[in-house]
Amino acid sequence: MDTVGYVAGVISTFAYLPQVVRTCRTRSARDLSLVTLVSLTTAASLWLLYGIMSAQWPVIFPNAATLVLTVVILGYKVFGDSG
């Protein structure tokens, strides 16, 4: 059962990677929705908290990684030159 959680986590986490790479390369998150980024960051934070509280590693690892990725993009959106 954990294997399914890990596979789902890897797929959903790495779905953000192309956007992070593009955002870092262009140094711009202008075309990205602030509401969406805040929502994704909040959701990843809450899922991470849930995973920690319930000691579910298949929830903890991917959401910790997703949180890092969404925070990077959100940082470009809020603090970037053209965010």
Domain boundaries, the chain: 2-79
Average pLDDT estimate for 30-49: 96
Contact 41, 71 (CB under 8 A): yes
Q: 53 pLDDT band (50/70/90 cuts)?
A: very high
CATH topology of domain 2-79: Monooxygenase (1.20.1280)
| Residue 18, pLDDT above cutoff 70 | yes
Contact 60, 48 (CB under 8 A): yes
Whether the pTM exceeds 0.85: the reply is: yes
The per-residue pLDDT of the chain, averaged, comes to 92
Contact 26, 81 (CB under 8 A): no
